[in-house]
Amino acid sequence: MLNQQNVNAFNYRKRIIIAIFLIIAVIYLGRLFQIQVLDHSYKASASSNITRHITNYPARGLIYDRNKELIVYNEPYYDLMVVPGQIKNIDTTEFCSYLGIDNKTFKARVLKAREFAVHLPSVFEKQIPNEEYAILKEKLYKFPGFFVQPRTLRRYSKPMAAHIFGYVAEVGPEITKNDPYYKPRDYIGISGIEKSYEEVLRGQKGVNIILVDAMGRDMGSFQKGKYDESAVSGTDIFLTLDAKLQEYGEKLMQNKRGSIVAIEPSTGEILALITSPSYDPNLLVGRSRASHFRDLQNDTLRPLFNRALMAQYPPGSAFKIVNTLIGMQEGIVTTNSRYSCPGFYRSGNITVQCRNHPSPVDQISSIQYSCNTASSIIFRNTLDNSKFTSMQQAFNNWRNHVLSFGFGRIFNNDLPYELPGLVVSSEYYDRIYGTRGWRSLTIISLGIGQGELGTTPLQLANLAATVANKGYFYTPHIVKAIENIDSINPKFTQKHTTSVDSIHFATMTNAMWQVTLGGTARFARIEGIEIAGKTGTVQNPHGENHSVFIAFAPVENPKIAISVVVENAGYGSTWAAPIASLMIEQYLTGEIKRSWYEKRILDAYFLKPYPEVKQ
């Protein structure tokens, strides 16, 4: 089989074949040497990562009120980006004229961008509004190296409820460091529901991956967009807020310091949450956000202070509701109780003043006329009950009743930065007076809602709602529904029952009804609507008394519970009660028939120079 001739004839060819193998190997090694060692452009390409990730920013979720009225939406804005390495032969003067900056600013910004990265985009001008962009858009082709990135910013259909909405700003370095979701230039909710529902509202960022060449030039999308993700807009939110009522309440509170909180008793849904003075939420949006924020911070009227959740006032006479209910529950106050009032309550060297009213009073009329004498007796009898072995025990029993109404702690609801108010413990008095050094008379001011007691307007509104519900409340909350999420946080549908039996609340409801029928708040009566309320006139170290009123209406099957605090305005009956009355009228009837009555409130001015307040 061996073909000797062939072997000999073509034997040399093995060398040619090996030579071909060798030549190719050498050519390849040479070529590899060229691209791997000699040519540095490939390394540059690889280090600039070849792809560039352009974030697609999602629009935040929209916010509607309880009647599906759009109150917070988004408006397109544009971030002008610059890639310094790509700026080529541009007319700087013309460019600057579109942006309203001078050449020096232009140079400084380009230099700053260049320091960050020559071939990567950085922000040249943030948040250019649509109108300005429309002019720039036409001319942008003349300025290679510049491009715009669309963003959205918040817009508010009405200049109201700033404290509820909170605001959105770019994330700070602390957050980007600790939370991998956030990258510089992302937006995040800083306060209000923008903060508490950040994860719902923020949506999902997307990304466009584009291919760039060694010079960082856009070469089209990477892998035909296979890895691109479009941004998913944030989820819409429906608030419990009634936008009309909120707007009206803010109008009523103009030129006043204070707060209105309205709650739907049957659900705990907050219908209105007004803090005054406030500000237009549109101020904290866009390029001037920082400067506006500084102005608001320096404003002596302290518009950034969210009084509805953070101001802690002694409740004054409004607290007689709580004390009387506790007295009823403890068997101290009964249908047979009668208190005769000489115009003051005196025990030892302590005197509590009262006002002129029919005497004696019973469990109903003591509330109706807000009798300090009766309240002092009831409070003392509650504490001096012989069933208690010590003052501490008696006090803590009373205190636990108070706490069951939601006082002294935060509701921990969906509104951030809430303060707990103040219901001191027995240890507090022990520290001041010694364990045996205090008795019911020592703390008698608690009986009329003064002294070491702090309640927020939200807690007072919740008290009204609790009475309206005859003994229980739902955690007051601001968000009614989240799109695509079936149920709202279950803790908001959980009933919180007070330690007082509901039968006593029926009596209290009657008493509070009498307040508006023929008591301290006669002035708050509305034709055709039965209102149960209680005035409060709160002494405070800042001057004129705070005017306080809490109420709910209608008495049968209440639809709204409300608290009104007007700082340094005087009697609860003169200012707070009429404001509550107007709010109730607005909410229940949708219109105001008493224009003279309304005008008196609108014209009132209580923004006197304000001494430093302790929070």
Partner 1 sequence: MKQGFFHDFRNIDKTTVLIFVVMLFIGWLNIYAAGYKESHNSIFDISQNYGKQFVWILIAFVLGFTVMLTDVKFFIAFAYPIFITIMLLLISVLLFGTEINSSKSWFQIGGFNIQPSEFAKFATALALGKFISSIKSKTITFQNRIKAFSLIFIPFAMILLQNDAGTALVFSAFVFMLYREGYISGLLLSFAVTAAFLFILTLVMNEFIIIAILSIIAIIAAYVLRNKRKEIFLVLGLFIIMSAYVYSVDYAFEKFLQPHQKNRIEVLIDSKIDPLGAGYNLNQSKIAIGSGGLWGKGFLKGTQTKFDFVPEQSTDFIFCTIGEEWGWAGSFVIISLYLFLLIRIVIIAEKQRALFSRIFGYCLAGMLFFHFAINIGMTIGLVPVIGIPLPFFSYGGSSLLAFTVMIFVFLKLDAKRLDLL
Kindly tell me which of 25 and 432 has the beta carbon lying closer to partner 1. 25
Q: Taking a C-beta distance cutoff of 8 angstroms, is the pair 597, 586 a contact?
A: no
Kindly tell me which of 223 and 353 has the beta carbon lying closer to partner 1. 223
Kindly tell me which of 7 and 174 has the beta carbon lying closer to partner 1. 7
Kindly tell me which of 37 and 591 has the beta carbon lying closer to partner 1. 37
**Smallest separation (angstroms) from partner 1 to the CB of 88:** 19
**Smallest separation (angstroms) from partner 1 to the CB of 199:** 25
**Smallest separation (angstroms) from partner 1 to the CB of 42:** 2
Kindly tell me which of 11 and 557 has the beta carbon lying closer to partner 1. 11
Distance CA 163, CA 308 (A): 9
Q: Taking a C-beta distance cutoff of 8 angstroms, is the pair 160, 247 a contact?
A: yes
Residue 14 buriedness (CB in 10 A; 0-12 / 13-18 / 19+): exposed
Q: Which residues contact 550 (CB under 8 A, 6 or more apart)?
A: 318, 321, 460, 461, 463, 464, 533, 534, 536, 561, 562, 563, 564, 580
Kindly tell me which of 208 and 382 has the beta carbon lying closer to partner 1. 208
State the DSSP string of 215-281.
T--EEEEGGGGTT-B--BPPPPEEES--HHHHHHHHHHTTT--EEEEEEETTTTEEEEEEEES---G
Kindly tell me which of 50 and 607 has the beta carbon lying closer to partner 1. 50
Three-class secondary structure assignment of 319-357? HHHHHHHHHHHCCCCCCCCCECCCCEEEECCEEEECCCC
Cα-only R_g, the chain: 35
**Smallest separation (angstroms) from partner 1 to the CB of 53:** 10
**Smallest separation (angstroms) from partner 1 to the CB of 114:** 24
**Smallest separation (angstroms) from partner 1 to the CB of 476:** 45
**Smallest separation (angstroms) from partner 1 to the CB of 180:** 15
Q: Taking a C-beta distance cutoff of 8 angstroms, is the pair 496, 458 a contact?
A: no
Amino acid 398 reads W
Here the tokens at position 516 are 């508006």
**Smallest separation (angstroms) from partner 1 to the CB of 203:** 24
Distance CA 236, CA 223 (A): 33
Residue with tokens 């109404």: 405
Distance CA 62, CA 440 (A): 53
**Smallest separation (angstroms) from partner 1 to the CB of 122:** 22
Task: State the distance between the two ends of the chain, measured CA to CA, in whole angstroms.
Answer: 110
Kindly tell me which of 25 and 506 has the beta carbon lying closer to partner 1. 25
Kindly tell me which of 31 and 409 has the beta carbon lying closer to partner 1. 31
Q: Taking a C-beta distance cutoff of 8 angstroms, is the pair 588, 271 a contact?
A: no
Q: How many CB atoms lie within 10 A of CB 348?
A: 7
Kindly tell me which of 14 and 104 has the beta carbon lying closer to partner 1. 14
Distance CA 463, CA 316 (A): 13
User: Considering all CA atoms of the chain, what is the largest pairwise distance in Å, rounded to the nearest integer?
Assistant: 145
**Smallest separation (angstroms) from partner 1 to the CB of 47:** 7
Contact residues: partner 1, CB under 8 A: 1-3, 5-6, 9-10, 13-14, 16-18, 20-22, 24-25, 27-29, 31-33, 35-37, 39, 41-43, 45-47, 49-51, 211, 219-224, 227
